Structure 1
Amino acid sequence: MKMLPKVLMFVGALLLLTLFLTPLWSITLEAPQYPDGITMYIWINKITGDTEHTLQNINILNHYVGMQYIEPDSIPELKYFPYIIVTMAALGLLISFKANRKLILSWVIIMVVLGILGMYDFYLWEYDYGHNLDPKAPIKVPGMAYQPPVFGSKMLLNFNAISYPYWGGLFLGLSIIMAIAAFFTARKTTGSK
């Protein structure tokens, strides 16, 4: 039982590193001209699509309604998010050797705060892309904004925009859950002495 909180915290911290292997979030656009949908994947350090031309196709569609081009190289978050993840994974691994309740709780709180800030930043990014439209766009619909949902689905003209966590987002959540389990297991272990 003594090892359980250490193992939970260790595995939870390692799970953060899966964010380099799988996207954090996905946004799919479904429409009559795209019956299978086109999907954009948001990683912690890049944006890709389900094909090599997905991002180009989305940018062409965005151009018609006046949205900005999605240029991953110009998004600062994609440059510094990897450092945050590596730092939090390293801290989590160090904390796992001691399995100190206060340190585990501090790590969980920091991760939750970072998660909330990350979701808020994602919302602001989507808001800017969906509302800051070029007035010279070929297609103008008065009062229409093209912000995809942060979570769920939403009709944008004839497109159904579907936004959900991808495997990386699920692993991130599981990482925090494992750290919470480590905290409670460490507490029970300490309390039973």
Structure 2
Amino acid sequence: MVMKKIDSSNRTLVLIAALLMITAYFTPLWQISLWAPQYPEGLNMKIWIDRLSGDVDIINGVNHYIGMKHIGVEMFPEFTYLIYVFAFIIGFGVLAALIARRWAVYTFFSMISLLGVGVLVDMYLWGYDYGHNLDPTAAIKVPGMAYQPPLLGYKELLNFLAYSGPDTGGWIIAFSGILMLIVVSRCFLEDRKAKLQNPYMKVQ
């Protein structure tokens, strides 16, 4: 088995990918926006790593009439541990860049990928619960109507147009994932080439 390190350019990309994720602590990760005739300028809620910001109170006031739950920090238990999850992934990414081993690079890429999938699944489950579990005593009831916000993109909900998608921090993390995809692809092609030259060699 050959313990082959990644080259300096790949190490740099891994380090950049890890350090870029630090922005998650200072920029919003997700956003949900609403537009309606009475709100032509739009209402916007931003989801950070540990808090909410934006027009949350106004959105709560509007959605109260159709029986939707009050949006608050307590609705997102993820806020209590996401800061540690990100810290661990960032730390491992820096370590992967320092030791420059393929297994560490692949593991770091897997962590970012699982984080992305986890966020999407979590947002879908939250949106489903928020849009379907309505107060039966609400002032406005539309039989058979659910108000689940879109996971990604736009969706019409009564007289509102809703949008959901990554915010600044989310796009930066996605870019980190793209950088890691480039590194992993390079490593895979290098390993494949080495294996073709020597079928009995294992690279780690």
Whether these two folds match at TM > 0.5 is: yes
Q: Which amino acid aligns with 2:172?
A: F
Aligned to 1:116: 117
2:132 counterpart of 1:137: no
2:32 counterpart of 1:27: yes
Measure the CA separation in 1 of the matches of 2:184 and 2:104.
9
Stretch deviating more after TM superposition (104-113 or 31-40): 104-113
How many residue pairs are counted as aligned between the two chains? 188
Question: Structure 1, residues 154-185: CA drift from partner, whole Å, max 9, x if none?
Answer: 11110000112111111111111112223344
Secondary structure of the equivalent of 1:38? strand
Secondary structure of the equivalent of 2:141? coil
2:82 counterpart of 1:68: no
Measure the CA separation in 2 of the matches of 1:65 and 1:132.
11
Conserved 8 A contact 1:4-1:185: no
Q: Which amino acid aligns with 2:30?
A: W
Measure the CA separation in 1 of the matches of 2:130 and 2:164.
15
Conserved 8 A contact 1:66-1:137: yes
Measure the CA separation in 2 of the matches of 1:161 and 1:180.
31
Conserved 8 A contact 1:41-1:48: yes
Offset of 1:2 from its aligned partner? 3.1
Conserved 8 A contact 2:109-2:184: no
Aligned to 2:45: 40
2:21 counterpart of 1:16: yes
Q: TM-score scaled by structure 1?
A: 0.91
Question: Structure 1, residues 104-156: CA drift from partner, whole Å, max 9, x if none?
Answer: 11111122122112211110001111000000000000001111100011111
Any gaps of 5 or more consecutive residues in structure 2? Answer: 1-5, 195-204
Q: Root-mean-square deviation (CA), in Å?
A: 1.8
Stretch deviating more after TM superposition (139-148 or 182-191): 182-191
Measure the CA separation in 1 of the matches of 2:122 and 2:165.
16
Any gaps of 5 or more consecutive residues in structure 1? Answer: none
Aligned to 2:165: 164
Offset of 1:188 from its aligned partner? 6.5
Measure the CA separation in 2 of the matches of 1:154 and 1:175.
28
Measure the CA separation in 2 of the matches of 1:97 and 1:44.
27
2:88 counterpart of 1:87: yes
Identity %: 41
Larger radius of gyration, structure 1 or 2?
A: 2
Q: Which amino acid aligns with 1:135?
A: P
Q: TM-score scaled by structure 2?
A: 0.86
Secondary structure of the equivalent of 1:163? strand
